[in-house]
A and B are shown apart, each in its own frame.
Chain A
Amino acid sequence: MSSGRLLALLLTAATVAFIVVGTLWPMDSARAMAGTQAGLLPAPASPEAAAGNLLREVARRNWEEAYSSLANRNEFSELEFMRDFTGAYPGLRTYATLDSFELHPLHASGDETEIRAVLQWSTAVGTFPDVRDLQVVRTGDRWQVAWPIVKEARVPPQVIPVNYLRWDVIYRGPEDDWGTQDVEAPHVRIVDMHPIDRGGGVVVLGEILNEDVVPAFTTVKATLSAKDGSAIATEDAFDKMCHILLPKQVTPFRIDFPDVRLSQVDSIRMAPSPNLVAASADPVIEIEDQKLSSLPEPALSAKLVNQSGQIVNVARVLATFYDKSGQLVWVSGSYADRALLPQAAVPVTIPLPADLASKVSSYRVIATTYSSSRFQ
């Protein structure tokens, strides 16, 4: 009985000791679960710790704590700081979460250190990186980050007249006679198709032209067939194509078959599926300052400028890369992480595989948009 009491006493004492230790020196994960109070955090003893603490608060969307830890709070408000991450208008950033980050010290000189922070944001359409060079300064016994804020362009209040062009469709109704023909589906044509063996899989690259005078919502499926005629796999282009094609518009497409070897494939059956949809011809997006950077990280950079009056919440760019003979080399895409305000440039970067960079001679870029307030 006495040994049982002793054990109970020991367990109680150990529990109290662990609670005290956990409260005074909490682990990062415990802080995240508990919702850290500033008083519980130790003063960052190194520049990396200061930057790490700040970005962890950002990941938790704890804007107040993050803002209060900054060295340059006098340069911007907490709201502006928050909008640097979420965007002032709904866009890809609004719904993104900070998945991970890496810190790379660049320079250090006494009370000031420069650190490159590579933030990986996670969204429904994939991840996007955000690179910021942080100045970390020592203030007394603690290090603080001077946040390099990127203020979004503001558009002054104004009225922008736009002549909208859109197509409405009257489909065949249930009461119509059987002889009443429905509206003709748009005519689209695959103008180029080129399979390549890449990364242990097959990639089908191509381009589709809308030959018609009406908009077409188009999907493309490819079926790989073996020599005995059996289907190996069927995939579609998903977001590696522009689905709404206006008259005479050309979109590239890329269909990935990750687990198939080109040597297994005897034939490829392409099935474009166009449907007539009500659509709008606006907004018009200018893709300016397109530049192809070379190795070690080849990419096509550009700036998107919205030439219409409507705010574009999500913009996507697709690039088609060609070799000297005009043959398709690669199709790649990317999203603008911020909303496009009228006449405000937003940068985008489209990655290009390093081993293909030397083959690329020319390229073509198109943009597609989504607006939550699209006029219906």
Chain B
Amino acid sequence: MKILLTLWLGLAVSISQASAQTRALTLPRTVPAGAALSVPTNGTGEGVLYIVGPMEVLKRTLQLGDTVVFHQGELHNAGHYTAFLEAPSSREIVDFDVVAQAEPASISFLAKPSRLAVNLPDGISGVAYLFDTFHNLILQSAQVSFHLSETEGAIQTHLVASRNGVAWVQMASAPKAGIAQFLATAGGVTEKRIVQQVPGDPCLIKMTARRAGDQLVLETEPLRDCRGNPVADGTMVTFTETYQDSECTVDAPLKHGIARALVPAYSGSVISVASGVVMGNEIRWQAGR
């Protein structure tokens, strides 16, 4: 039985070797993108080798039996390729794949939105596309690390394995307003985006009035939202003074958290303050108080 098996295996090996010797073109099944490639050929006489791939056709005239060399970077588009060897008496066709390099060289990072309110669950989304040196999408799974660093130093980190070249994550915005850095890292490559976390509407508007000559200086206390964040500078605050049958209004922007305006000092006038849909306190101005 042993002798029979040995004979059969020997026969199979010799048939395989004979077949290889008769094949004019030998190519690996997969080739890394951009790598140099040597293609040995068999036979005699002149031939022409065509390699047809995505957005690329290469042609080499050769002597059968020589080795054709493709230098680094010549085959760089990932995808399915077909090699045609045209000899005087035969034609051979071999299929092979050029695959993206395993190491990411660049990340296309989509972070949205660039500006959002504080404390929003799953408010920030990040999508990372991994590419190699030749901008081929890396389909093999790779670890992508997403970091969201906030103004007060707190960091949210998520480690995500890419699938078909894409990794994505959703994160909550911080309770504190400020500029956050959103980073996506894969291999040695990092991409940064800026996410602005902005405060909400003012929680409470409180103003004071003091006399300055024949005018009143109206000033709000520093405005904060209901989580204690300073309301963004530039936010419009409207002061309205009503006196008898006339009104006086001033739209003043917040500067350093405070809105300030001047109105005529009429004894008996009623002064109110508002910002957007939020109303503040009311002052009834009597002469001197």
Contacts and interface: CB of A to CB of B under 8 A. Distances in A.
| Chains A and B bind each other | yes
Contacts of A213: 115, 198-199, 232, 234-235
Interface string B80-112: 000000000000000000000000001111111
A182 B235 CA distance: 23
B192 to A, nearest CB: 10
A365 B238 CA distance: 11
A286 B252 CA distance: 9
Contacts of A247: 232, 234-236
Contacts of B255: 163, 165, 281
Interface in A29-73: none
Interface string A213-244: 11100000000000000000000000000000
A249 B112 contact: no
B19 interface: no
B249 A287 contact: yes
A167 B249 CA distance: 25
A345 B46 CA distance: 97
Given A286-B250, A289-B248, A281 B193 contact: no
A289 B277 CA distance: 24
Interface in A162-186: 163, 165, 167, 177-184
Contacts of B112: 181
Contacts of B277: 209
B261 A290 contact: no
Contacts of B245: 291
A184 B236 contact: no
B264 A214 contact: no
Contact of A178 (B108, B198, B234, B256): B108
Contact of A286 (B109, B113, B263): B263
Contacts of B193: 180-181
A108 interface: no
A149 interface: no
B115 A179 contact: no
B250 A177 contact: no
A284 interface: yes
B62 to A, nearest CB: 40
Nearest to B115: A184
A118 interface: no
Q: B-side binding surface: helix, strand, loop or mixed?
A: strand
Contacts of B232: 213, 247
Nearest to A291: B246
A281 B234 contact: yes
A181 B114 contact: yes
Interface in B131-175: none
B233 A165 contact: yes
Contacts of B108: 177-179
B253 A165 contact: yes
Nearest to B232: A213
A266 interface: no
Nearest to B239: A286
Top 9 A-B pairs ranked by shortest CB distance?
Answer: A179-B108, A281-B253, A213-B232, A248-B276, A288-B248, A290-B247, A249-B236, A247-B235, A184-B114
Given A165-B234, A213-B198, A290-B248, 4 more contacts: A179-B191, A182-B114, A184-B113, A284-B261
30 contacts: A163-B255, A163-B256, A165-B255, A178-B108, A179-B109, A179-B110, A180-B193, A183-B115, A184-B114, A209-B276, A213-B198, A213-B232, A214-B234, A246-B234, A246-B235, A248-B201, A249-B251, A286-B248, A286-B249, A286-B250, A286-B263, A287-B249, A287-B250, A288-B264, A290-B247, A307-B250, A307-B261, A307-B262, A366-B251, A367-B251
